[in-house]
Chains A and B, each alone.
Chain A
Amino acid sequence: MKQISAFIQKELLECMRTGKCIFMLILFVIFGIMNPAFAKLTPWLIDIMSDSFSNMGLSVEKVTVDALTSWMQFCKNYPFTIIILLLMFCNTLSAEYQTGTLINVITKGMNRWKIVLSKSIVIFAFWTAGYLLIFGITYGYNAYFWDNNIVSCLAFFAVCYYLAGIWLISLMIFMSTVFNSNSSVILSVGGIFLGIYLIGMLPKIDKYLPWYLLDSSKLLINDGSISDYRFAVVITILSVIINIVAAVFCFSRKSTL
């Protein structure tokens, strides 16, 4: 436990001193503010552009925005948030392979599984904190400007999107133990996600895939029920566990440190 705690402290110190922490904080706050801000500014933007639309022969009706508009914007911004987080941490192991800094740690007697676990804990913690920040800011502004009660199943929707992020991070950690370069890690994660997306296009299979969790935004407008997502939630959780176990297995057998 002392080794894991020491390694986590090292990871956090690195994030603080290399500016990752402050960058992520600013980014998450901006994304959190953007969701309600975009919803709030939409009528004003359309109003400004209505004259040019009239000249083109298009009539613009009065647009009403509410908390749902803001939550839909949350869904649209979500891919950018998780992609930036993955890009920030895709070198978590590859940078150490390239510099050889892990050799000292391993030859000091640290078990390899503890390295994988420590790094996973830190990245999961960043995602959890960042996600809570974005969700909290969006929720707070929505409550101030409109009413969050008009959307249904908000908590379950939040859990689904959070889990999808955890799944992608676990996949990135697994790929980091397989490949030695950042680009290979990020391309393999992207490739697997794309593959699952394509498989999801086959009828009746989609609801068993982790990707289906991102479909839970439909629940906000009362389209479908929570039970529709039970398979995706269970399979995603199992998949996260498998990814971490596979990462430990691969890393324990890796010679090119």
Chain B
Amino acid sequence: MDILTLSDVSKAFGSKKIIDNLSFSVGEHNIFGFIGQNGAGKTTTMKMILGLLKIDSGEITVNGESVKFGNAKTNREIGYLPDVPEFYGFMTPKEYLTFCGKIAGIEKKYCDKRIEELIKLVGLNGVNKRISGFSRGMKQRLGIAQALLGNPKLLICDEPTSALDPLGRKEILDILSDVKKHTAILLSTHILSDVERICDKIAFLYNGKLALSGTIDEVKVFIMEMG
């Protein structure tokens, strides 16, 4: 079953069309690589999926439910890791995750247990300092933990490795590979080696349109045939 479906979605800012009749779907337990150069419309697409931007035409469904701008109930099924995750710097990681749990309406006992699991998963156990003192990599880890807190059916990651060093990148990709067992992932990136390493399916976005899509092997064969 498809967790995420975009059908003929278009979006323009003023007279400039950013997304033009975009359609694709993401199935369960898949990592879907969403590839495109800077400004191709990847972040715009993700924000539309999250109901943060209004679509001009088309439809987006998450787990069969249509996404509505401004008050997207479908966000209950989604975990989101922004490209530059920002948190309340005056909180500690546990305080922030507890706050997220309350906002998401997660039962306290389960939330406490889940926070312990996630803190271990992302390697932040024992870190009790305030988030304002975190490095970019630590923020990225905390970002993954908050995104997975509610056991989402879909995890959206917007260029999670773009600003990390090779070791940080490997660690984040390992975490995402591990998460795949329970959650479908939409991974936006322009780092092709990351895509090759963890993605099952990929789609290239060019000028707001889907230029190429398929499994990694299908795309490789297509590129070889094209010479």
Does the CB pair A255–B53 fall under 8 Å?
A: yes
Tell me which of B50, B84, B88, B102 contacts A107 (CB under 8 A).
Answer: B50
* Interchain CB contact under 8 A, A112 and B71: yes
B52 at interface, CB cutoff 8 A? yes
Whether A183 sits at the interface, judged by CB under 8 Å, is no
- The stretch from B27-35, B72-80, B169-177 touching chain A is B72-80
Closest beta carbon of chain A to B211's beta carbon, Å: 26
The answer to whether A10 has its CB under 8 Å from any CB of chain B is yes
Q: Flag if A108 contacts B90 (CB, 8 Å).
A: no
Given known contacts A18-B90, A106-B52, A108-B150, A6 and B84 CB-to-CB distance under 8 angstroms: no
Q: Of the candidates B52, B71, B84, B87, which one forms a contact with A255 in the assembled complex, judged by CB atoms under 8 Å apart?
A: B52
Q: Does B104 contact A (CB under 8 A)?
A: yes
Chain B residues in 8 Å Cβ range of A107: 50, 52, 75, 78, 80
Q: Which of B76, B88, B91, B95 has the most CB of A within 10 A?
A: B88
Asked if A104 contacts B102 (CB within 8 A), the reply is no
Closest to A254 in B: B70
Q: Which residues of A contact B103 (CB under 8 A)?
A: 3, 6-7, 105, 108-110
Interfacial chain A residues near B104, Cβ < 8 Å: 108-109
Q: Tell me the minimal C-beta distance from B44 to chain A in angstroms.
A: 10
Chain A residues within an 8 Å CB radius of B86: 99-101, 103-104
Flag if B52 contacts A257 (CB, 8 Å): yes
Within the complex, what minimum Cβ distance (angstroms) separates B153 from chain A?
14
Count chain A residues whose beta carbon lies closer than 8 angstroms to a beta carbon of B.
Answer: 28
**Beta-carbon contact of A100 and B75 below 8 Å:** no
On chain B, the residues within 8 Å of A109 by CB distance are: 73, 75-76, 103-105
Tell me whether chain B's interface is mostly helix, strand or loop, or mixed.
Answer: loop
Q: Is the CB of B73 within 8 A of A252?
A: no
* B82 interface residue (CB < 8 Å to A): yes
Q: Which of A87-138 contact B (CB under 8 A)?
A: 99-101, 103-112
Chain B 80-102 interface mask (CB, 8 Å, partner A; 1/0): 10101111101100010001101
Expressed in whole angstroms, the Cα–Cα distance for A148 and B100 within the complex equals 50
Asked whether B189 is an interface residue with its Cβ less than 8 Å from the other chain, the reply is: no
Q: Contact between A103 and B52 (Cβ–Cβ < 8 Å)?
A: yes
Nearest Cβ on chain A to B158's Cβ, whole angstroms: 10
Taking CB atoms and an 8 Å cut-off, the chain A residues in 219-245 that contact chain B are none
The minimal Cβ–Cβ distance linking B128 to chain A, given in whole angstroms, is: 14
Min CB–CB distance A191 → chain B (angstroms): 28
Chain A residues numbered 1-34 whose CB sits less than 8 Å from any CB in chain B: 2-3, 5-7, 9-10, 13-14, 17-18
Q: Which of B54, B88, B146 contacts A10 (CB 8 A)?
A: B88
B70:A2 contact, CB within 8 angstroms: no
Rounded to whole angstroms, the CA-CA distance of A76 and B26 in the bound complex is: 64
- Measured between C-beta atoms, what is the minimum distance from B141 to chain A in Å? 14
Complex Cα gap A13–B105 (Å): 20
Inter-chain contact B82/A103, CB cutoff 8 Å? yes
B residues neighboring A (CB under 8 Å): 50, 52-54, 70-71, 73, 75-76, 78, 80, 82, 84-88, 90-91, 95, 99-100, 102-105, 146, 150
Give 13 CB contacts A-B under 8 Å.
Answer: A3-B102, A3-B103, A6-B102, A103-B86, A104-B85, A104-B86, A105-B103, A109-B73, A109-B103, A109-B105, A112-B71, A252-B71, A255-B54
List 8 tightest A-B contacts by C-beta distance, closest first.
A6-B102, A17-B90, A107-B80, A108-B103, A108-B104, A99-B86, A100-B86, A109-B75
